[in-house]
Structure 1
Amino acid sequence: MAVTAYSLGAAEEVTGSRHILEIDGRSIMIDCGAFQGRRAESDKKNREFSFPADKVESVVLTHAHYDHCGLLPVLMKNGYDGTIYATPATRDLANIVMMDSARIQARDAEFLAKQAKKKGEAFTWKPLYNEADCVKAANQIVTLGYNRKMYIAPDVQLEFFDAGHILGSSLAYFTITGQRKNQKVTKVNTESNTKQKIWHKLFGTRLPSKNEPSQNTDGADELRLLYTGDLGRRNKPIIKDPATNMPAPDYIFMESTYGNRLHAETSSTMYELEKVVRQAIDSKGKIIIPTFAIERAQEIVYYLHLLVDQKRIPQIPIYMDSPMAVNATGIYQLHQECYDAATQEAFLAHHKNPFGFNSLQFITSVDESKELNKKSGPMIILSADGMCEAGRILYHLANNISNPNNIILIVGYMSEHTLGRRILEGEKEVKILGDWYKVNAQVKQIDSFSAHADYKESTEWLKLIDTSRLKKIFLVHGEKDAQAYLKGYLAENGFPNVEIVKYGETYNLE
């Protein structure tokens, strides 16, 4: 049995996670994410995704962020009709992420066509996919709860462990059985041919005889692989800590988004948020928060709820202006099995909703969104997209970024070349929706909101899991500088066998 791995995305870059695990030429795809960055570059990269669907045996989805699930509908368009495995919460969140993307693309196509017509220009751009493609993708998702095992092929068993990143996020653990390359073959007595055929059809392995112990009792004939997806952090609100109870893996494919950075202490998060809110109250300004609709929006609302509840900030209007974030918040309320003990206690025992309170108003329509720009501060507006490359956040930035009384609060990772990254890095003038705007608003960052483990947290997690069989760590989903730093840091901390996955290279796993 020949086992190899390679990446079709998120190799020496962040976003666009698409990884292939190949077993004797049969391909399992881990995540099928869209690339996020500059609009033209993202559109080009996402359109170039043309992996042959008939080569994919199954798809495993680690979580529902767009850069991990956003091209599943494209895979459907290419003819994939197999199973997509995900946790129940991931299925529900991925459904709204894909649908939201399809609707945004449809609106963009309509808007751009009108603009081209006004200018007398030809217009040929089409959406990557439509809502029907999203429905097909959602219909092919089979759910698997945490710590439950399922054979996704006769010789491949899948088990999900909680990644602690967002609701439903998972560490995908694969156990591959069967004779591997260079493995010694031993002749054995077997049961009757009929029983043998049935066993092999079900599990892809031979049935041991009654007098012969199974060769797999100690895992010696197994190959174990762990894909982290996006690895979360300990002691984050709402969701549980990243799991550490999985069996010892032979190889780990680990994300490295924050491979060269450390987060601020989580304990300082509420203090920093309180300071920003009080500053906006004093200046009667607006706080504009570009946020991802899933996880970040709910976490910020959770913290604001606590601050109001503890009377550390007064009640001021808080608007969640993202239809997807509103829908995602509803899904967060449904999947209480993913909550940590503190949230379980608040939500279940005391019936307190951590995602909604009197100050919070949900905005769904375009007209309601436009009205926010006419209102005076102080107020807080949370709006998607988190990297400021699309969505309603662009209009809020355009209307508010030049006012020195306002605050642009950055609470998440900004990829290279995105508008959010340019604002964060202090550019004095930025282009938004085709026009240039002076950046007079104050730009502040609270980094402890991040749902990605930093380099110390990633290393601490590795030290907590069983690495007795570990042969190598492969780094994916990170920028080159971050990955180089993390590789060195891991070597200094007892993990010398680390390789950075490069696009186009295939790695043998034995």
Structure 2
Amino acid sequence: MHVTFHGATREVTGSFHIITTDEERILLDCGLFQGRRKEAEAKNRVLPVDPAAITNIVLSHAHLDHSGRIPMLTKDGFCGHIYCTRATARACEYLLRDSAQIQEGDASYLNYKTARNFLSKLKTGGKGSISREEMAEIKSILKAGDHRLNSKEILEILHEHQLEVVEPLYTIEEAEDALQYFEGIPYNHEESIGKGMTCTFYDAGHILGSAMAVISKTCNGRTQNIMFSGDLGRFNKPIIQDPTLEFAEEHRHIDLLIMESTYGDRHHEPVKDMKPMLKKVLQETFDRGGSVIIPAFAFGRTQEVIYYLHELYLAGEVPRVPVYVDSPLATNMTHVFGEHPETYDEETHVTFLENGLNPFNFAHLNFVQSVEESMALNRDTRSHIVLAGSGMCEGGRVLHHLRHKIHDERNTILIVGYMGANTFGRQIQEKAEAYETDGRKGQAPLVRFYNKEYPLRAKVVTLGGFSGHGDRDELMRVLKESNLDIKKIALVHGEEDQTLAFADHLREEGFEVNVPYQGQTMYVP
């Protein structure tokens, strides 16, 4: 067997690896690249292989940096199966539709800007500035009466004048078509995925339905095992099970482990400290009369924060201010969590289910449905908590809340997830950290979004322990406390400094390690 690494190599997003045998090509994940918009767009547009040449897909979990390019494959010739856990298949129903809606929306807006700029230059002959009245006339052509874009008119203008038309990576219809290829299978169940090849999923403890996949190939009485870790979670966190440490006898001997390394050189706060630390942030913010804005991934992080808030509110440990989940996708994903209590850990059963309580619903929790509700919330001056997407502040409703709250030192921006390199969330983190290190002296740093600069006066607090990724010690725990016998490790899904540092640590521990580059192929003897 050969493994070729096409994505998430010395970077975090865009997971995409191919196992090749004489008869089969099995794709491990099919994720979107995320980061600088132009760079991500260029990477996402080009698939490294012909979709028709792929036999089947093994999907570790539903996050878009692992699943987000699947509709591109299914629309361009892929005709196999997508194997994943049942919870992952259910989650992808919402995540891929939402991704397609964003793709369509971004393409429509870019086409609108092209048409608007063209008509503006046409009005002025390319000289001077356009008047408000003239711009209003142009907008009346390109927009419908309710401020929606007039896509038909925009495309007609672009085609007529041979202007560039931006197409979405895939449409909502194409995302929905992709869902028919999914095959949800249980954990610990061996499934045939090719000639002499099987896949068995083990719980990865990262998010609901996340899995480590053991791909076994048997030929002439000899079996080879490749394990793909997907994203590995933390131990002793609430809601879902810990990462698996006990594997079936036939899967213990691993010829190649393809392992994530997101936090390969970092240590998180202990899980037991998460609730007290969250409590402290909330109390300090409410004492200042402020609100807490939490950029949160719709799937996983939002539900975890809801869980902790529910516990704090039940115990009366913090003021019971209103909590708003301002993300239609997060609302849907919370319902998915509610549909799969069989995946919950013992703590969740004891604390909530055995007392007839839903972990993800309580009296002060509100799910914001409409844009109008979200806008009204922006104007609310009372203390409250908002969880909104996107998790890395690259778009979504969280930006509207930041626009209204980021300039006020009473408020807190609470970071509870990984902020990728070059994302707006990472920029907020780094500028706030520098400002705090300097004692918050002088002018507050400026951040630019929505074509305007805002002073970053709000407190920015990062609680790394909320991460869904295990830190270095937890990754090592999977390697050293499990019953696995691992011949070789290939590290993926980590920024280069994290991955290389983790590789050095693994070598010191006696493991044979490779850090592949994009496009590199490894032979599995």
TM-score, normalization by structure 1: 0.89
Structure 2 residue 65 is the aligned partner of structure 1 residue 70: no
SS at match of 2:213: strand
From 14, 17, 39, give the equivalent of 1:16. 14
Rounded Cα–Cα distance in structure 2 between residues aligned with 1:353 and 1:506: 47
Equivalent position of 2:171 in the other structure: 130
2:421 is the alignment partner of 1:416:
yes
Matched, 1:177 2:218: yes
The equivalent residue for 1:303 is 308
Asked if the contact 1:285/1:406 (under 8 Å) is kept, the reply is yes
Cα displacement (A) at 1:366: 1.3
4+ residue runs over 4 A deviation: none
Please identify, of 11-20 and 336-345, the stretch whose mean Cα deviation from structure 2 is larger.
Answer: 336-345
Q: Shift of the alpha carbon at 1:374?
A: 0.6
**Given the alignment of the two structures, is residue 228 of structure 1 paired with residue 229 of structure 2, yes or no?**
yes
Taking the aligned partners of 1:327 and 1:124, their CA distance within structure 2 comes to 32
Residue identity opposite 1:237 in structure 2: P
Partner of 1:203: none
**Alignment partner, residue 259 of structure 1:** 264
* CA distance in structure 1 between the partners assigned to 2:321 and 2:269 by the alignment: 26
Aligned length: 466
- Which residue identity lines up with residue 37 of structure 1 in the other structure? G
Contact 1:39 1:389 in 2 (8 A): no
Which range moves more in the overlay, 480-489 or 244-253? 244-253
Higher helix share: 2
> Aligned residue for 1:479?
495
Q: Which amino acid counterpart does residue 6 of structure 1 have in structure 2? A: T
The separation in 1 between residues aligned to 2:515 and 2:233, in whole angstroms, is 20
Distance 2:164 2:385 in 1: 38
Instruction: State the alpha-carbon separation in 1 of the partners of residues 56 and 304 from structure 2.
Output: 32
Counterpart for residue 197 of structure 1:
none
User: 1:25 Cα deviation (Å)?
Assistant: 5.7
1:143 is aligned to 184
2: CA distance, partners of 1:286 / 1:38: 29
2:475 aligned with 1:434: no
Per-residue CA deviations over 1:128-169 (Å, capped at 9, x if unaligned) read 101111112111101110011111112101100000000000
In structure 2, the partner of 1:168 is 209
Q: Which amino acid aligns with 2:321?
A: I
Query: Within 2, Cα distance between the matches of 1:60 and 1:373?
Result: 41
Q: CA deviation at 1:371?
A: 1.1
Amino acid in structure 2 at the alignment position of 1:480: E
Secondary structure of the equivalent of 1:159? strand
Instruction: Work out whether residues 11 and 477 of structure 1, in 8 Å CA contact, stay in contact via their aligned partners in 2.
Output: yes
Q: Shift of the alpha carbon at 1:353? A: 0.7
Aligned residue number for residue 363 of structure 1: 368
SS in 2 for 1:120: helix
1:123 Cα deviation from its structure 2 partner: 5.5
Cα contact 2:6–2:16 (8 A) shared by 1: yes
* C-alpha distance in 2 between matches for 1:175 and 1:107: 41
* CA drift at 1:35: 0.6
Asked if structure 1 preserves the Cα contact closer than 8 Å seen for 2:24 and 2:195, the reply is: no
Aligned-pair distance for 1:314?
A: 1.6
Deviation at 1:286, TM superposition (A): 1.6
Which of these residues, 40, 49, 53, is aligned with residue 51 of structure 1?
49
Query: Deviation per CA, 1:215-242, whole angstroms, max 9, x where unpaired?
Result: 4xxxxx1101100000111101100000
Q: Quick check: 1:30–1:59 contact (8 Å CA) kept in 2? A: yes
Deviation at 1:488, TM superposition (A): 1.4
Quote the Cα distance in structure 2 between the aligned partners of 1:105 and 1:303: 33
RMSD after superposition: 1.4
Contact 2:240-2:344 within 8 A present in 1 as well? yes
Identical residues among aligned pairs (%): 40
Gap change, CA 1:314 and 1:258, over 3 Å in 2 = same
Match of 2:431, SS state, is coil
Unaligned runs of 5+ residues in structure 2 are 120-162, 433-444
Unaligned runs of 5+ residues in structure 1 are 180-214, 216-220
TM-aligned CA deviation for residue 364 of structure 1: 2.0
Compute the displacement of 1:348 (Å).
Answer: 3.3
Q: Hey, what does 2:116 align to over in structure 1?
A: 118
Is the CA contact (8 Å cut-off) linking 1:33 and 1:68 kept in structure 2?
A: yes
Distance 2:17 2:366 in 1: 39
Per the normalisation by structure 2, the TM-score is 0.87
Deviations 1:261-316 (A, max 9, x none): 10011111111111111122112212111110001000000001111111110210
In 1, Cα distance between equivalents of 2:87 and 2:256: 27
Q: Is the 8 A contact 2:23 2:195 kept in 1?
A: no
CA contact (8 A) 1:50 1:78 kept: no
> Which residues in structure 2 correspond to 1:394-405 (within 5 Å)?
394-405=399-410
Q: 1:326 aligns with which of 328, 331, 338?
A: 331
4-13 vs 120-129, greater mean Cα deviation: 120-129
Which amino acid in structure 1 is aligned with residue 501 of structure 2?
A: Y
Q: CA deviation at 1:338?
A: 0.9
Displacement of 1:347 in angstroms is 4.1
